[in-house]
Structures are given as C-alpha cells and as structure tokens.
C-alpha cells in the first residue's frame, strides 16, 4: 500500500550545471502531473512524465527540475529579455493592485535565470544525466509514499478488527432481540390491564412479525464478507484505494440497513460505534493510492 502524499529530492551535475529535482504529491482521485522543466529541456517532459507514472498512479504530483549555472561563471544575459520579464511583472502587480518597486536583487535574479536558461546544454545530451537525477528523486519519493502506506495499513487493520468486533457483538445480541421484545410487549399489556398468556396466538403473531422485521442475518453475512474482502484487498500490491473506497460504500450501506432493522438499544450502540470507526477509515482511505 502506498500513500498519495510524499516528497523526494535529488541533486546531480551536468556540464558544470548543478541539477536539482524535487517531487511532491498530494491527494487526488486520479493522476495529475504538474511538471516544470527549463525551457531548453522541454523535449524531456514526455520521458519525465513516463518515469513518474511508473511510481505513481493517483495524486497530484508536482515535479520541478532546476539547473544552476557553475559557480563563478560569467553570466551573459539578454538585456531585452530581462526588461521584458520585468515589464510583465510590473503589469501583473498593477493588475492585482500590488505596489511594485524593482530592486537590484530582483534584476539579478531575473538576469541569472535568463542566463542560466540560455547556457544550458542541448536536451539530447543532457537527457541521460537529467533522467538519472529524476529517477533518484522518484526513488526517494516512492520510498516515502511506501513508508506512509505501511503506517496506514497498520491503522486500517486495527480499525477493521474493531469493526469485526462490533459485528460479532451484534450477532451475539440478535437472537435475544425478539424474546426481549416479547417480554416488553407482555409487560406493556399488563400495565394496561390485559393479561395474555405467552402462548396466546395474538402475542405469538406479533412477536413473529417483529422477529421477521428485525432479522439482520443477511446484513451480518454481507458485513463479514465485505470486511474480509477489504482486509484481503488492502494487502494487495499496487493501487488499492479505488476499490477499497467502493467496498467501504457497501459496508456503510449494510450497517445503515442493519441499524434501521434491528430496533434494539444494544444493537444501536454497536451500530453507532461501527459508523464512527468506519468514517475514520473512509477519511484515511482518501490518502491511499
């Protein structure tokens, strides 16, 4: 099991440029890639995306590749390009109502970025070096997602055991519900001055109808099956989140039906605890790939 949240970082070097790759992810129902590469290496985007898809199947994954020029290198930037970037920043600030006062530090940052981009080696030659750093970052990223996934699995299995205990407690209580109702019915009849024998046909018929309405045998059978299926599925390799979410929906439907049919205080208490625990599982499942 893998978590959908993770982070990885790796560094390397090519042609004197210091390479840095950072990758991070957050929850998302499907895979959403956000890749940021230097423009000179835009041709590498497809290969980078393919590498990401090998380790991530769900989540919003953000990957950044930066290439810093060699320390002490003489920067040769395009003054027109720097001026254009500065004007675009000024226009953006004006549109957002932000006071904009360019500084020497800002100019240096823009010029350094322009010079760095311009001096990057061609994508074809840089590809093996860049992808090696990307894969190293993705290994760290995948390891973190796997580690968090292990912690989630332990939590899920612990909570599933609690759900199983509630199901078995309801199963133990269920045979007592109809007899308890019979005693309550006879007590109410006596309170209003009607003395009926427990073998009276009318009492037996009423108790039989109640027993049929509150029979939760089918719900208990399906709940046991769903819980076992979920426990087994969570231990499967690869993507498990989607199917697990579907099974959780089925479990929620069954426990709701059981609670409506049972009509018993002790059973209702177990149903409430079951639902609370189930909701915690569903919230955590949103983090699972």
Four-point Cα dihedral 163, 1, 239, 227, nearest 10: -20
Q: What is the pLDDT of residue 245?
A: 93
What is the CATH T-level fold of the domain 6-77+113-147, as seen in this structure?
Ribosomal Protein S5; domain 2 (3.30.230)
Residue span(s) of the chain under CATH 3.30.230 come to: 6-77+113-147
E strand or H helix at 279: helix 265-285
Spell out where the chain has E strands: 6-14, 17-26, 31-36, 59-68
pLDDT band, residue 169 (cuts 50/70/90): very high
* More confident call, 129 vs 106: 129
36-68: pLDDT as tens digits: 998 889 999 999 999 999 999 999 999 999 988
Average pLDDT score over residue span 66-74: 70
179-235: pLDDT as tens digits: 665 556 555 555 555 555 556 565 556 555 555 566 777 888 999 999 999 999 998
Q: Any idea what the Cα angle at residue 189 is, between residues 187 and 194, rounded to 5°? A: 130
Q: What is the pLDDT of residue 213?
A: 62
Main-chain dihedrals φ then ψ at residue 7, nearest 5 degrees = -150, 140
**Rounded percentage of the chain residues whose pLDDT exceeds 70:** 80
CA gap 51, 48 in Å, rounded = 5
* More confident call, 108 vs 103: 103
Strand-pair category, 59-68 with 17-26: antiparallel
280-289: pLDDT as tens digits: 999 999 899 8
Contacts (Cβ under 8 Å, ≥6 apart) of 238? 57
Rg of the chain over all Cα atoms, to the nearest angstrom: 32
pTM of the model: 0.70
């Amino acid at each position: 099991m893998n978590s959908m949240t993770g982070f990885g970082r790796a560094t390397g070097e090519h042609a004197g440029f210091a390479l840095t790759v950072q990758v991070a992810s957050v929850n998302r129902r499907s895979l959403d890639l956000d890749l940021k590469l230097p423009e000179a290496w835009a041709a590498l985007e497809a290969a980078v995306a393919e590498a990401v898809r090998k380790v991530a199947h769900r989540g919003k994954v953000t990957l950044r590749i930066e290439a810093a020029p060699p320390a002490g290198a003489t920067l040769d930037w395009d003054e027109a390009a720097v001026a254009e970037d500065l004007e675009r920043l000024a226009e953006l600030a004006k549109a957002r109502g932000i006071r904009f006062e360019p500084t020497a530090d800002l100019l240096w940052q823009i010029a350094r970025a322009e010079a760095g981009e311009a001096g990057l080696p061609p994508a074809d030659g840089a590809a093996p070096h860049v992808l090696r750093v990307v894969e190293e970052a993705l290994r760290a990223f995948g390891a973190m997602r796997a580690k968090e996934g292990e912690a989630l699995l332990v939590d899920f299995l612990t909570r599933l055991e609690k759900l199983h205990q509630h199901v078995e407690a309801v199963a133990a209580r269920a045979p007592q519900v109809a007899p308890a109702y019979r005693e309550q019915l006879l007590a109410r009849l006596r309170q209003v001055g009607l003395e009926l024998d427990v073998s009276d046909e009318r009492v037996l018929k009423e108790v039989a109808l109640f027993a049929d309405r509150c029979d939760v045998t089918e719900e208990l059978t399906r709940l046991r099956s769903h819980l076992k299926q979920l426990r087994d599925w969570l231990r499967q390799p690869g993507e498990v989140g989607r199917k697990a979410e579907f099974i959780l929906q089925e479990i929620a439907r069954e426990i709701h039906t059981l609670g409506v049919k049972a009509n018993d205080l002790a059973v209702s208490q177990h149903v409430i605890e079951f639902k609370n625990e189930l909701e915690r599982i569903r919230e955590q499942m949103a983090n699972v790939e």
